[in-house]
Structure 1
Amino acid sequence: MTTPSADLLNEVRTFRARYPDVRYVDLLSLDIPGHFYGKRYPIDMLEKVAAGSPLKLPQNCVLLGVQGGLFPIGDYCFNDGDPDALRRLIPGTLKPVSWEREPLGQMLISSDGTAAPIEFEPREVLARVLQRLASKGIRPVVAFELEFYLFDRALKHGQPQFPRDPFSDDPDDQPNMHIERLSRFSDVLRDMVETANAQGVDANVITAELGPGQFEINFGHCEDGLRAADWAALFCRSTRGVALKHGLRASFMSKPYLQAPGSGMHVHVSLYDQAGNNVLASNGQRPLRHAVAGCLALLPHCMPVFAANHNAFRRYGAMVNAASRASWGFEDRDACIRIPESDTRNLRIEHRLAGADANPYLVLAAILCGMEHGLDAGQEPIAPLNDNRDSGVDFPKDMLTAVAAMRGHPAVNESLGPEFVKVYCENKRQDHLAFMQEVSAREYRWFL
């Protein structure tokens, strides 16, 4: 049994009264690669869970690979009997789903906050980092920005095609960064924002990005780090669903076109003390520089988090605003860590390295660990790009090198948890090896 919550039970009952046609609710949680898994529950059973009945799913669901398979990781998956683990309902996340053919609801679930949290569950990893910062009197405020591409729904020879433009049959007629492109795709973009808002996500500003069919949608700043990552996860799900409803395909793939910019997950983070003062702005902004130094120090050892798959490494150094080294700068979009111009109250870092298809819980956890590491060490960072365009620290450019750099790093193990690091690195290593087990058409052209 779980502890019953009057507020949670009232949330379910209010939802049932407001949406009487909804018979089922998808209970969702994010696995290591950043995909949702879960169960579709009859809504009357959901009310029983809210009242205290246990909610369990297999623990090893968290360990699924990109294609849904399981890998042997220590005793997990094949030598542990595939045990169930408790999950709990996340309050405030029960919302209607508008992109399916039939009335449906969805709600986030997690093992964090249960009697036995799963050490390697992404939301639990972030929860532990936030709890540690809270014990030091530090409260992060976070805002995600997510870039994505729209494609035509039909692939051509397995490859994505530019989205159909309602005003032009010319695939090259894609005015980058122009407000006109927002008008051309206004129906689907407006639906994406409104649907995200209906999910409780504070999605707001829309930008037409540099790539053909590429857009960015920003979220409001959130004082709850877990909720900020929830927003990013839920936004990806609803955006894909809305695109399909409009006859399109939305993808957060890091680098869908070699000759066009990749899609990033940009994360704005500021830190506040218990009195509401901006920690980064104190003492002549020295803590800001220390936080930057910590992020740069851990960045090369967190690359499997920021670049979560083989394709994600293609972003780095390939086009504008995609760094090839760990760097920082003031108002500089070529830097991994950008310091936007702001007043003292809103001073923050913008971490720009992660691919858009990375796991938002883990990306935020890694960023916060870097900032914490820097504040504790009190070291000054390397020169900003504003002073030296060659300033920077090398980081791994392939998954196997990145996994090795992460697996053995003491500070990363201590900050994110050694069990998580072991499981995550092995999951990524085996996913990468599985991906490589195919002979490409290029190999035949070059070597046959």
Structure 2
Amino acid sequence: MKSPSATLLAEVRTFRQNHPEVRYVDLIALDIPGHFYGKRYPVEMLEKVAAGSPLKLPQNAVLLGAQGGLFKIGDYCFNDGDPDANRRLVPGTLKPVSWESQPLGQMLITSDGTEAPIEFEPREVLARVLERLHHKGIHPVVAFELEFYLFDKKLDDGLPQFARDPLSDDADDQPNLHIERLSRFSDVLEDMAQTAKAQGIDITVITAEIGPGQFEINFGHCDDGLRAADWAALFCRSTRGVALKHGYRASFMAKPYLQFPGSGMHVHVSLYDGAGNNVLAAHQQQPLRHAVAGCLALLPHCMPIFSPNHNAFRRLGGTVNAATRASWGFEDRDACVRIPESDPRNLRIEHRLASADANPYLVLAAILAGLEHGLETRLEPIAPLNEDRSSGTDFPVDMLDAVRAMQHQSVVRDKLGAEFVDVYCENKRQDHLAFQQEISAREYRWFL
């Protein structure tokens, strides 16, 4: 068996042979708000890193706010000297970039698996949850679904404009689910799908959604939770790049239009034991009930993860299939936790609450923590919506309330890590307060 460095070195050398035109490779990782940060490396230097040379980036790059600024969080950022922290290359993620004007490559990097992983790095948070489940003999299989909008490339006084229909040059301003929309936008959608596949992402179903210019992409079920979240993160990056190449903007913003549905991140999760048996289906599906109950119990305390910004809270309620309370149901898209119809082998939950711009590593970590909590404590869920349409428990619908609900919840701190929870909550609190530091035109109209 090859050593990790030998495997990585072979990957880099094969890439260089297949793509001799590529001179630089972007080494990228996801920060807390879900943005990629990193460095552009000459490809020959990448070969040295693959062979074992250290790869270091500032630790506090993970803490950047939504606009890239640094907040004082405990001793981080301003009292710690801004230290470097080791990263490693993620095997299998070195791929060509086709949407830039020059030949490039990209490769994921992470601190998980290093000698001193960063406790609040999103990928490391998920890695710890998965490792704990694996030690318990539980192996998740995961599939993400992501909704997004296409807009015209040009903004109108900073506001998005409807995507132009390439056949008629009219605005695609009619909300519908028509298959013809897939045909009208087939060039850009096909490029998005093929580009994603070139990144190693298992793309399956493409759907025209209800909102004007809104689409949904489904990914294949994956037995590696980290890879499944990698796919979701990388898809967002490549899709935005491909859209610009075609004269559009692609956005995973949670609620770009008040009058139309928001964009969500739906996550399907099933759990298997070491023998390949579906844990949720055992004992007349009693573990499924426990898992659902655990998800619902932690959901109100993980809202800053599922709705990571001010706009994401706008998505909750008031439109199609967007829950306003923590609820569950069989084949019910109004529920936060939906149980799709399936055979026992494929029995799973579909967690539907997160917004499309949420951090996929953290969303999956929070969902798995809820499942684990329910299985451990054998919780019983509230009535499903199929039995009681008013069933559900309240969750915070404001960022500051959500942060308070998350920060001191003992189970969340235990499952996701106390250091991560403190850092994440303060990051969200500071981001929210910074967002408020601008007087809008509406305020002048109302109060001047």
| Residue 84 of structure 2 is aligned to residue 78 of structure 1 | no
On the 8 A contact 1:4/1:52 being kept in 2, the answer is no
Identity %: 81
Structure 2 distance, partners of 1:117, 1:175, is: 45
Aligned counterpart, 2:221: 221
On the 8 A contact 1:55/1:86 being kept in 2, the answer is yes
Structure 2 distance, partners of 1:211, 1:233, is: 23
Aligned counterpart, 2:201: 201
User: What one-letter code is carried by the residue in structure 2 that aligns with 1:185?
Assistant: F
| Residue 303 of structure 2 is aligned to residue 303 of structure 1 | yes
Deviation at 1:175, TM superposition (A): 5.6
Q: Superposition pairs for residues 45-194 of structure 1, below 5 Å?
A: 45-171=45-171, 174=174, 176-194=176-194
Structure 2 distance, partners of 1:118, 1:396, is: 29
User: What one-letter code is carried by the residue in structure 2 that aligns with 1:276?
Assistant: G
Deviation at 1:236, TM superposition (A): 0.1
Aligned counterpart, 1:245: 245
User: What one-letter code is carried by the residue in structure 1 that aligns with 2:296?
Assistant: L
User: What one-letter code is carried by the residue in structure 2 that aligns with 1:249?
Assistant: R
Q: Superposition pairs for residues 291-440 of structure 1, below 5 Å?
A: 291-440=291-440
Structure 1 distance, partners of 2:192, 2:170, is: 25
Q: What SS does the corresponding residue of 2:211 show, helix, strand or coil?
A: coil
Q: What SS does the corresponding residue of 1:140 show, helix, strand or coil?
A: strand
Structure 2 distance, partners of 1:124, 1:66, is: 20
Deviation per CA, 1:47-98: give whole Å up to 9, x if none.
0000000000000000000000000000000000000000000000000000
Deviation at 1:166, TM superposition (A): 1.7
User: What one-letter code is carried by the residue in structure 2 that aligns with 1:10?
Assistant: A
Structure 1 distance, partners of 2:114, 2:174, is: 49
Q: What SS does the corresponding residue of 1:254 show, helix, strand or coil?
A: coil
On the 8 A contact 1:33/1:359 being kept in 2, the answer is yes
Aligned counterpart, 2:279: 279
Structure 1 unaligned regions, length at least 5 = none
How many residue pairs get aligned? The number is 446
Deviation at 1:170, TM superposition (A): 4.2
Q: TM-score, normalised by structure 2?
A: 0.99
On the 8 A contact 1:174/1:181 being kept in 2, the answer is no
On the 8 A contact 2:173/2:213 being kept in 1, the answer is no
Structure 2 distance, partners of 1:67, 1:238, is: 20
Deviation per CA, 1:397-431: give whole Å up to 9, x if none.
00000000000100000000000000000000000
On the 8 A contact 1:4/1:51 being kept in 2, the answer is no
Q: What SS does the corresponding residue of 1:5 show, helix, strand or coil?
A: helix
User: What one-letter code is carried by the residue in structure 2 that aligns with 1:307?
Assistant: S
User: What one-letter code is carried by the residue in structure 1 that aligns with 2:258?
Assistant: L
Structure 2 distance, partners of 1:394, 1:317, is: 12
Q: What SS does the corresponding residue of 1:193 show, helix, strand or coil?
A: helix
User: What one-letter code is carried by the residue in structure 2 that aligns with 1:330?
Assistant: F
Q: Go from structure 1 to structure 2 and tell me whether the alpha carbon gap of 1:156 and 1:338 turns closer, same or farther (over 3 Å shift).
A: same
Structure 1 distance, partners of 2:367, 2:166, is: 40
Q: TM-score, normalised by structure 1?
A: 0.99
On the 8 A contact 2:165/2:172 being kept in 1, the answer is no
Deviation at 1:168, TM superposition (A): 3.0
Q: What SS does the corresponding residue of 2:344 show, helix, strand or coil?
A: coil
Deviation at 1:4, TM superposition (A): 5.7
Q: What SS does the corresponding residue of 1:65 show, helix, strand or coil?
A: coil
Structure 1 distance, partners of 2:322, 2:260, is: 11
Q: Go from structure 1 to structure 2 and tell me whether the alpha carbon gap of 1:104 and 1:343 turns closer, same or farther (over 3 Å shift).
A: same
Deviation per CA, 1:284-328: give whole Å up to 9, x if none.
000001000000000000000000000000011120100000000
On the 8 A contact 1:175/1:181 being kept in 2, the answer is no
Structure 2 distance, partners of 1:346, 1:424, is: 34
Q: Please give the root-mean-square deviation of Cα atoms over the aligned residues, in Å.
A: 0.9
Q: What SS does the corresponding residue of 1:345 show, helix, strand or coil?
A: helix
Deviation per CA, 1:13-43: give whole Å up to 9, x if none.
0000000000000000000000000000000
Q: What SS does the corresponding residue of 2:380 show, helix, strand or coil?
A: coil
On the 8 A contact 2:164/2:170 being kept in 1, the answer is no
Deviation per CA, 1:165-185: give whole Å up to 9, x if none.
023344365361110000000
Aligned counterpart, 1:231: 231
Greater shift after overlay, 168-177 or 15-24? 168-177
Deviation at 1:204, TM superposition (A): 1.7
Structure 2 distance, partners of 1:31, 1:175, is: 33
Q: What SS does the corresponding residue of 1:240 show, helix, strand or coil?
A: helix
On the 8 A contact 1:111/1:118 being kept in 2, the answer is yes
Structure 2 distance, partners of 1:135, 1:206, is: 36
Structure 2 distance, partners of 1:327, 1:399, is: 20
Structure 2 distance, partners of 1:138, 1:369, is: 12
Structure 1 distance, partners of 2:14, 2:171, is: 47
Deviation at 1:248, TM superposition (A): 0.3
Deviation per CA, 1:131-188: give whole Å up to 9, x if none.
0000100000000000000000000011001001023344365361110000000000
Deviation at 1:5, TM superposition (A): 1.5
Structure 2 unaligned regions, length at least 5 = none
User: What one-letter code is carried by the residue in structure 2 that aligns with 1:346?
Assistant: N
Q: Go from structure 1 to structure 2 and tell me whether the alpha carbon gap of 1:4 and 1:54 turns closer, same or farther (over 3 Å shift).
A: farther
Structure 2 distance, partners of 1:173, 1:53, is: 52
On the 8 A contact 2:164/2:172 being kept in 1, the answer is no
